[in-house]
Each structure stands twice: as C-alpha cells, then as structure tokens.
Amino acid sequence: AQKVTQAQTEISVVEKEDVTLDCVYETRDTTYYLFWYKQPPSGELVFLIRRNSFDEQNEISGRYSWNFQKSTSSFNFTITASQVVDSAVYFCALRGVIQGAQKLVFGQGTRLTINP
C-alpha cells in the first residue's frame, strides 16, 4: 500500500521566520516519485516540485528547499524567510501506477499561516 503522512495539520509563524513542513511516505515500489503542491485560498493546486526516488540530491529554488531522505522515507519542505504570500495549504503526494494510469496519493495537507 502507498501512504503519505503529513503530521503537522496547521503551522503558524511570523513573517521572515523559516518553517519546515514534514512529509513521510510508505511504498513498496523501488522506483517512485514524490511531489509537493501548494493550494492557496483561491483553490488551484500549484505544482512545486517532483523528486525521483533514484535522485537523492536536495534541491533549492529561491526561498524554497527540499530535503529527500530515503533512509527515513521523508521528503521535507523548508521555506526560508517566509512571506505572507506563502500562506496556503501544502500537500505532499506520492505517485503510483494503478491500471496503467498515474495516481497521486496525497497526504492530509498542512495549513501554513504566515502572520505579518
């Protein structure tokens, strides 16, 4: 079975603080793909990053960084110097192939609030 756990339901920080969103996954696949999506209040899910299981390099994109650790089955997301516009629900997801089609297994999401 494939499962994604985001233990932090809600996080609230003051602007300019750094914040880390945790994601732990379970899969028996040897090749798998992990994703992070952002859902602002407008509702649209915005793709942030994809990570392949065979590439354990961490990635940085501006104020965003991702730490992928296969040994602990974690794919954590850090926002540095947070801004009010970062307020959103963030979903971690694991890709599985069922009946020949790609299916995303989502975590429950973490609601991040950045206060001015």
Instruction: Report the nearest approach of other proteins to the CB of residue 47 (Å).
Output: 5
Identity of the residue, 81 or 113, whose beta carbon is nearer to other proteins in the bound complex: 113
- In this structure, what is the dihedral angle of CA atoms 8, 82, 36, 77, given to the nearest 10 degrees? -70
In the complex, minimum distance from the CB of residue 36 to other proteins, in angstroms, rounded to a whole number: 10
Q: Which is nearer to other proteins, 25 or 91 (CB)?
A: 91
Residue 80 C-beta: closest distance to other proteins, Å: 23
What is the nearest approach in angstroms of other proteins to the Cβ of residue 50?
A: 5
| Closer CB to other proteins, 35 or 68, in the complex | 35
Q: Which amino acid is at 100?
A: G
Q: What is the DSSP string of the chain?
A: --EEE---SEEEEETT--EEE--EEE---SS-EEEEEEE-TT---EEEEEEETT----EEETTEEEEEEGGGTEEEEEESS--GGG-EEEEEEEEEEETTEEEEEE---EEEEEE-
- Taking the least distance from each CB to other proteins, the nearer of 19 and 107 is 107
Binding site for other proteins (CB under 8 A): 33, 35, 37, 42-47, 50, 52, 91, 95, 97-104, 106-109, 111
